[in-house]
Chain A
Amino acid sequence: MQSNRLGWILLAPTLVILFFFGVLPFIYVVYVSFHQWNPFAANPEMIFNGADNFRRIVFDAEFLNSVGVTVAFVFFAVLSELIVGYFLAQAFMKDFPGKAFFRTIHTLPLIMAPIIVGSVWKLMTTPSIGIIPHYLDEWFGITMNIGTSAPAAFATIVIMDVWHWTPLVTLTLIAALVSLPADPFEQAQIDGANSRQIFWHITLPMIMPAVVATVFIRLMDALRTVDEVWMLTGGGPGSATRFVGVHIFKEVFPKTNYGYGSTISVIVLYLTIVACWLLYVTMLAPRNTKED
């Protein structure tokens, strides 16, 4: 009883902060999503319009397109980060000259603000001055222009995201790999298992909680990517890189359409929660049941 009360007292500051900075803004966004509200219009009042914003969103071709583009981006970026991150983590588990130096260097992108990452990549990919189009043209005869080519713009954003966030995946997977017990691996080697069998039947199942946690973090981050994309392509060419975050930004700031922008935010939050829940149910719940 005593420890219960102490627990609540220790948790109270966090819960209060969480309520004011997490729960309350969420409730307010849901409230605004049922209103038509343009605070800079002639009539700045909030006008309740029931579910009209939600009725509008299911027919909004730009929004539906942005959801498709975002899902494609999340799939390619998160999958690439997982694969590259795993191989880097395995590499950093081995000893080689300069390992500490490379491990430090490879985490440097993590400390860069996304807006800086966007501007650096914009400089590197601008056709007349960028180093990437220059060498692509000189070495392979490929003309790269992310201002006019939709696939090039999309691929560049995926590569930029992989470059920026793979170190996070690597660090998480290193932590998971380091904590693995040696016994199952030794037993598997004695039984004659090859490296592929060891990976699929021992390593992957044992690091699965860490993999799922990493995918959750990256999934949530990737679904709300705005600043890097805004800096690099501004959502273009056309709507090729107009992710939902960029779409919300364009709806809320240039158009000052706060009600509809809130509706899009609520739907994106809904999609994020459903995606994470499905991932949890399909990847971790069967494992927990089996362990019972």
Chain B
Amino acid sequence: MGDTHETPLASASLEEDDTLESAGEKHGFLPIETNWFDRLFISVVIWVALSLFWFRFVEPLGLSIWISNAIAVVLAIFIVRKG
């Protein structure tokens, strides 16, 4: 055990917090604080997951992938603005 009072890892984490605060973090309906890039990332992740789900289960029933893309775009706008 060293005799320093703040670990390098803890101070790195605090520095990161300061940076994030200045990057415009906000708390919307998502359970975590996010900036606009986080929300865009979440939207892309959901878009890919929804597309793969659609290919596997919904497209064989005759519904086009473009419906999934439209849903993903609406969802992305909602998440980026309100998330």
Q: Hey, which bits of chain A sit against chain B, CB under 8 A?
A: 51, 54-55, 57-59, 176-183, 185, 206-207, 209-210, 267, 270, 273-274, 277, 281, 284-285, 287-289, 291-292
Contact = CB atoms under 8 A, between A and B. Distances in A.
B5 A181 contact: yes
Given A54-B55, A288-B13, A179 B5 contact: no
Interface of B: 1-10, 12-14, 16-17, 20, 32-33, 41, 45, 48-49, 51-52, 55-56, 59, 65
A291 B17 contact: yes
Contact of B3 (A54, A182, A209): A182
A285 B2 CA distance: 27
Contacts of B3: 181-182
Nearest to B7: A179
A288 B65 contact: no
A210 B17 CA distance: 17
Contacts of B56: 58-59
Contacts of A57: 52
Nearest to A64: B56
Contacts of B13: 209, 284, 287-288, 291
- Name B's interface SS: helix
A177 B2 CA distance: 9
B45 to A, nearest CB: 6
Contacts of A270: 45, 48
Given A176-B9, A179-B9, A292 B2 contact: no
9 contacts: A180-B2, A180-B7, A181-B1, A182-B3, A206-B10, A209-B9, A209-B10, A281-B32, A287-B13
Given A181-B5, A183-B5, 15 more contacts: A51-B51, A51-B65, A54-B51, A55-B59, A178-B2, A179-B9, A180-B2, A181-B1, A181-B4, A181-B6, A181-B7, A207-B9, A273-B45, A277-B41, A288-B20
B32 A182 contact: no
Contact of B8 (A179, A285, A291): A179
A192 B6 CA distance: 24
A289 B12 CA distance: 15
A207 B32 CA distance: 22
A277 B4 contact: no
A146 B65 CA distance: 44
B1 A178 contact: yes
Contact of B52 (A58, A177, A277): A58
* Nearest 7 Cβ contacts at the A-B interface: A58-B56, A182-B1, A209-B9, A179-B7, A58-B55, A55-B55, A285-B32
A83 B10 CA distance: 22
A176 B1 CA distance: 10
Contacts of B49: 274
A104 to B, nearest CB: 22
